[in-house]
Structures are given as C-alpha cells and as structure tokens.
Structure 1
Amino acid sequence: MSTAAMALAATGALPALAAEASQDTAGTLDDGTKVTSVTLTGADGVSVTILSFGATLWKFMAPDRDGELADITLGYDDLQLFKDKPNFWGATVGRYANRIDHGRFTLDGTAYQLPQNDGENSLHGGGKGFDVQNWKVEKVSSGKVARAIFTRTSPDGEAGYPGTVQARVTYTLDDHGSLQIAFDATTDKPTVINMTNHAIFNMAGEGAPQGAMGNVLTVPASHYTPVSETLIPTGELAAVEGTPFDFRAGKAMEEGLRDGTDQQIVYGRGVDHNFALDKGLTKTPELAARLSDPESGRVLEVLTTEPGLQVYSGNFLDGTFLGKHGHLYRMGDGIALEPQKFPDAPNHSNFVSARVDPGTPYRHVMVYRVSVER
C-alpha cells in the first residue's frame, strides 16, 4: 500500500487493502513487441511479477524464517531470451502441456499433426505454444486479493490444433502467501487442451550455490506413469513403492536421482515423470506436492484440480542458460512441479481425457502456497 493510502486508511477514510497490484512496461522485444509486467504484492511481503509474454510467472519473492526475501523461481533477466532461447521458465504452457507422441493424435476420426520440438515428440505446444505469445492484459486490480487477468485467442489450426480457443489465465494473490492460477478456455470445435504453469523452483532461492537437490519433496501419489526412452508414457500405471519415485513420505530430491539401476531414471536423466495423484481429478484444488528447503525454512505447497503432476529435476540444464543475476543454471538447479492431465493423454484411452467440446469450457485451478517452517 502506498504511503498516502496508508495515511488515509489510518484516518478511516478508506479501508486498508490486503493486497496490491501494479502494472508497468517491462520492455520491448527486438521485433517491437511491447511486454507488460504486473506485480501482485500481499501484506505478508510475498510478491509475484507476471509478464504478458507467455503469461509468465517471472518473479516469486518469498521470505525465509528470518524474513529475508529471495526469488524462488528460475528464469531470465533479459526479456529477449524468453523468445530467442525459450525454456518455459514460469510460462503458461499450452495448448497441450507435456509431450504428445510423434506430435500426432486423432479426434473424431481426423488425424492432427503438431510441430515436433522434442525429438520426434511435440512438447508444450511444439515450440509455437502459449509460452511464446504475448498475452493481452485484460484486468489488474487491488483489494482483498490482488488480481491480474491475461487473455488471448488461439486461432483454429495454431500449432496444428483444431478449433479457435479463447484462453484466459487469472493470477490471484492473497495476503497469506497463496497464489492461485486459474486457466479457462472455450473452443468452437472439439479439441484437446491441457494448460499449466511451468515454474522451476529452488526454495533456497534461484542461483543458490548448493542448487535445489537438497530441497525436500513430498508427492501424495502411489503410482506414476513409466515412459519409453523417448519419455512418452507406456500407458501403464506403476506403483512407486520400492522405486526412486516414492516421494509419499518426503525425501531430498537428490535421493535416488542418480540410480542408474532404475531404467526410468536412465531414460529421464533423473526424474522427468508424471505422477498419478491419489486424489485424482477434483472440483477444488487439493494437495499435489510439498517442496521445502530445510536451511531457509521456505515451504511451497502445490494444489490442483488436475489428476497428474509432472516432476522434473532440471536434468537438461547444462550451464548454457544465463539466468537471473548472471547465474548459469546447471543440472539440478531447479525443480518443476507441473499439475496437468497426463502426458500423451489423447493417445491413451485409459488416461483422463483432455478433450474439450463447444459448450463445455476447460478449467484448471492450481495454487502455489508459500510459508515458513520454523
């Protein structure tokens, strides 16, 4: 709250706002695209900054047990890199998050071919997805919660997907450390939609010398979806018990991460797998993951309405990504926790369907909730 607003609130002239939103110009890309930033700030000191480019969660400031703020998400300082060297840092990904085998699926007897940007697969929209589009800033507001709404029209045939889709992403921050992200979409013909946020976290703070592998991860999932060597699900739901993928009781991310006796770890170069959450598909967001840094005390809880959670241990970070504050990101410097439908669901009838029809809107609500463990 501004000094003037606090003074007025103190006199009773207006109610104190719990959370504030502000809008600014973030910069201009080489092609002339003007990028807007929106910052949401809660009364507890937690703040997030979102870019219109990719509807991207750019910064996520959270205090440790001593009150020291750190940005807990990896990313770029240079806006142009989001376009020239995209790596989905905090971006809204779609139309289909995660991988689709050979970039192909069939819907109502019609075959569709998507761009292949991950070997033979299509990943997160095939390199032409929502993450590399500049979204419209529809509304920014302060109040009991701070809110920012981003919208865009995805035309029929964009990145190979059928249907004209009207997409909306709503970020809402309260004063208790909860950032809700709601993804909404409608279509004018049958299509598939699977949207999520692709933030990569380190609860010790991005660029921390020790990396993120000491972060403790808990995932309430008794099963996961094993993959082929191309990281496409086989269709099986395998038990996590007795494998490196058992995070039900919580353990440091690094435990089992180099277990070359497990073929799934070899395929993923670590963990890059979808977990079938015990809760399944739910109407309201329920717990999907808990990530904490014992040293700083920072805790992140991820909640979602979706049935799956992709856990990615930063296996392809190779020191060539020049990130925030001049940090070179390496393998294990961050952890992605991506709530979603299962990867390649359009090609697996036993997975929860990602189909969306006219008159039946798509909606996914997820929450990033930060706190401090004393």
Structure 2
Amino acid sequence: MKVSQEVFGQVDGKPVHQFTIENEHGMVLSCLDYGCIITKLIVPDRKGIFENVVLGFDTLEEYQKYSPYFGAVVGRVAGRIANGAFELDGENYQLPKNEKNNHLHGGPHGFSHVLWDVNIIEEQESVSLEFTYRSPDGEAGYPGTVDVKVTYIFNEKNELHIHYDATTDQTTLVNLTNHSYFNLSGNLKRDVLNHTLFLDSDQFIELNDELLPTGQRLNVEGTPFDFRASRKIADGPKSSHPQNQLVGKGYDHPFLLNKQQSEEIKLTDEASGRALIVETSEPSVVLYTCNQLEEGFDIRGVPSRPYLGVCLETQSPPDSIHHSHFQQCILEKGQDYHTHTLFKFMVKDE
C-alpha cells in the first residue's frame, strides 16, 4: 500500500495536511488532519473505471466557506440539541446555537473545524491514520476535558474502518459520526435519486418543525421509510408523507437499526454497478438525502443542488439527552467511549 502526504492549506498559521492512501487494487482514500475530513474515495465501477464517490473540495478555503460538513467527523455531539441546552448531574449547560435556536454537530467550532494530530501506522494489508484531539473543559460549552481518537483503517479488501474512542475527566456528552456525502455514480455524474438503499430498520424517529426528534418512534411499514426490501432514494422526494415534506422533500431522519455489524445498510447505484455496505456498532443511522444543499457554489466543477449526495450518519439517536427512552450519549469519568463503523465497497455485475 502507498501512503503520501502534502500541505493542503493553513489554519491560524498552521499547515493542514492531506493524506492519501492507495491499495493494490487502485482504490484511494484521501483525508485531512483538519476535521478528519475525507476529501476523496476513489473506487472502480463495473467497467473498471475509477472515480470519486464522495462530495468534497480541492481547496481548504472552499471547505471553510461552503462545506455543510462534507466528509468531516462531527462532535462532541452529532445532530441537533434542542435550544442548545441540557442538564447533566444537576448542572445546566448552554451551547452555542448555530442552526436557528438549536446546537448542531458540536457547534460552529466543533471537531469538524479543528486541527487533529496524526499518527500513521503502516502494515502489510492496511494503513491506519490515528487522529487525536484534546477538547478542553468548557469547549463549545460542554463540561469535561475529553481526549478523542478517531482511527481510519484502509485495507486491501476495499474497506474503510472508522473507530471512535474517547475518555473524559468528568461526565459529559459524546456522540461521534462521519458526515460523508456519498454519490456512487462517480465524479457526480448524476444525482442519487436512482440509488437504491437497503436499511434493516423497522422504525424511524419522528421529527418536529425544527427537525428535532419528537421522541416518537414510527413504524416504517407501509410508508416511504420502509427500506427493508430496498427502495430508491427518489421515493422520499416524490412522497406526500408529512415527514418527507417536513425535511424539504426527502429524508433527514434517524432510523433504529434491527441489528449491528451484519450488512445492515447497503447503498447501490445500478448504473455504475458500485455498491457500499455499511456495518456499525451504533444503534441508529441518520439518513440525509441532501434535500437542502444550498446552491451557488461548485463541487469540483459541478453546481451544488439538492440530492447530489446521501449521508449515512451512524450514531446514537440525536438529542437523546432530552429523551430518556433513547440510547444515551452520556460519557462518565472512567468510562471508555468506543464505536466502530465499516464502509465496504463492492462492484455488482450486470
């Protein structure tokens, strides 16, 4: 396997590096030490043509100006926190509000917007990038000093493993995910509406007008949210279901997974033959179909528009701190936070 690095830009006078790993099959992963951003994932189609299957930019300035978390690790807490506030161990905490009245993805200076330290580990069948960051007590309003490690393991099986680890010196909240936008057509030749998705999930979480969980779990049976037999992404934007309409004609919903680490998610583009299998230790995945991607900028020469990508954000349910029946993201002193998500790329025959 080949590993290289180059300077990608600067943040506060410090260099930002891009790391590129290529396996013997020609698959390529590129990522930054800024926000752990995955900038490129280059994989073959059924004709052996290698193309990029994630949304991203070629300059740091574009990420800072336009990016809706393209490829980044978000945290301390992924998703929205209602009113940017929560109570923990009898103490009230106020977080910055960066989406209307709510706190989103760790705030304006969350993990997606900081420089991480990197350690490269080369082995015969894989290369690991260990990203580490110490989040000080009070950062973005959260309690506790948190030591975080995110490890990208890229191997000869065309797999990307992401391990998330954290410890804290006092009780706090931690819920991490990667926010890559996938488009298996390759180099954004088409939108994702004709992508087919399988999700092993019987229930999704209802959202309110602020896209926050109401706390209600809804059954997928008989709705456009039933992906158990696979269905096209386009079914959501075409649907008159109130939940599809609410989020801008599509999906931006947490789905509760029936099982873990057993091919519970599969995204396929029949035209190219590319398929992506996702396995996770997490209890849920937020499916976002890029319904509200703003226009007015280019993504590597392609004008931005809705439905250019699909996010599969494996995590604990959003805003769980306000819903005691959800799996919680409370991390206590002495506890170890660890989750794992696998992205495996395959090619389907015609």
Question: TM-score of the superposition, structure 2-length normalised?
Answer: 0.96
Aligned positions of 1:167-316 closer than 5 A: 167-208=148-189, 210-259=190-239, 261-269=240-248, 270-279=250-259, 285-316=261-292
Rounded to whole Å, the distance in 2 between the matches of 1:290 and 1:237 is 22
Q: In the alignment, which residue of structure 1 is the partner of 2:10?
A: 28
Offset, 1:288: 3.5
- Structure 1 residues 344-359: aligned runs within 5 Å: 344-359=319-334
Q: In the aligned structure 1, how far is the partner of 2:227 from the partner of 2:61?
A: 37
Q: What corresponds to 1:130 in structure 2?
A: 111
Indicate conservation of the 8 Å contact 2:120/2:127, yes or no: no
Cα pair 1:61 1:70 within 8 Å, conserved: yes
Looking at structure 2, the residues matched to 311 and 338 of structure 1 have their Cα atoms a distance apart, in angstroms, of 7
Q: How big is each residue's C-alpha offset from its partner over 1:171-197, in whole Å with a ceiling of 9 and x where there is no partner? A: 101111110011111100000100010
1:107-131 deviations in whole A, cap 9, x for unaligned?
1111111111111111101112100
CA distance in 1, matches of 2:344, 2:195: 16
Q: Tell me the equivalent position of 2:305.
A: 330
CA displacement, residues 196-229 of structure 1 (integer Å, 9 cap, x when unaligned): 1000000102421x31111111110000000001
More strand by share: 2
1:151 partner SS: strand
C-alpha separation between the residues in 2 aligned to 1:320 and 1:185? Answer: 37
Matches of 2:236 and 2:246, distance apart in 1: 14
**Cα separation, 1, equivalents of 2:342 and 2:296:** 31
Query: Structure 2 CA distance, aligned partners of 1:204 and 1:183?
Result: 29
**Offset of residue 244 of structure 1:** 1.2
Contact kept, 8 Å, 1:23 with 1:140, in 2: the verdict is no
Aligned-partner Cα distance in 1 for 2:4–2:294: 35
Deviates more, 1:358-367 or 1:250-259: 250-259
Partner of 1:45: 26
Q: SS of 2:266's equivalent?
A: strand
Task: Flag the structure with larger Rg.
Answer: 1
Q: Is the 8 A contact 1:20 1:141 kept in 2?
A: no
* Partner-residue secondary structure (3-state), 1:102: helix
For residue 245 of structure 1, what is the amino acid of its counterpart?
F
Closer/same/farther in 2, CA of residues 277 and 197 from structure 1, 3 Å limit: same
Count of residues in correspondence between the two structures: 348
Q: Secondary structure at the match of 1:314?
A: coil
The CA distance in 2 between the partners of 1:88 and 1:121, in whole Å, is 17
**Distance in 2, Cα, partners of 1:311 & 1:300:** 14
Gaps of 5+ in 2: none
1:364 maps to: 339
Secondary structure in 2 aligned to 1:264? Answer: helix
Q: CA RMSD of the aligned region, Å? A: 1.3
Distance 2:318 2:123 in 1: 36
Q: Per-residue deviation at 1:247? A: 0.9
Residue equivalent to 1:10: none
Q: TM-score, normalised by structure 1?
A: 0.90
